[in-house]
Amino acid sequence: MTQDKEPDYKKLYTLLRTMIDHAPDLIWAKDLEKKHLIVNQANCDKLLLCQTPKEAEGKDHLYFANRERRNNTPYTFGETCEDSDDVVMQTARPGRFLEDGIVRGKYLALDVNKAPIFDESGRMTGIVGCGRDVTEEIRIKKETDQLKDQLRQSQKMEAIGTLAGGIAHDLN
């Protein structure tokens, strides 16, 4: 009989770290105090605005929001992230959220999925999440909606013009 050997956790961590740091989406895990346990490089680059994932570990979103405010940059992601974290922690259920705000003077929107983390005894120990940048999709949808509204308005005006022309022709 062959005996299963214990996994090499150091190799697994290195593998996991490499995978998440090369993912284009934002990935993270937080403890129950909402402090980052792990984040990937995309999260650092797009949202937390720090150089390395190591710099984010042990800090919460409000740390980064307050840092941005000190630089006179409006930054609302901290509160948005806190609110959705609360929902997942209070319900102990996964959730999907649109988190958006201003980062370095630019609008950023993320389609975020979050889920609770449980230990072996079933006790919640934190949350994990991933977020995809949907800023461009939202911009395109707004532009499309505006064009549709303009087209509807134009069609209404054309119909009124046709009706008015018909009435004028009948009166003549």
What SS3 state is found at 64?
Answer: helix
pLDDT of residue 61: 83
CA distance 30 to 37: 5
Cα–Cα distances in angstroms (integers) from residue 125 to residues 16, 33, 42, 55, 61, in the given order: 20, 10, 24, 22, 18
Low-confidence ranges of the chain (pLDDT < 70): 1-3, 68, 70-76
pLDDT of residue 79: 72
Strands of the 124-133 sheet, one edge to the other = 36-39, 26-31, 124-133, 106-118, 95-103
pLDDT of residue 159: 79
10 Å Cβ neighbour count for 51? 11
pLDDT of residue 3: 64
The pTM for the full model equals 0.76
pLDDT of residue 121: 96
pLDDT of residue 102: 81
- Quote the tokens at residue 59: 């800090």
Tens of pLDDT along 52-96?
Answer: 999 999 998 888 877 767 666 665 677 778 889 999 999 999 999
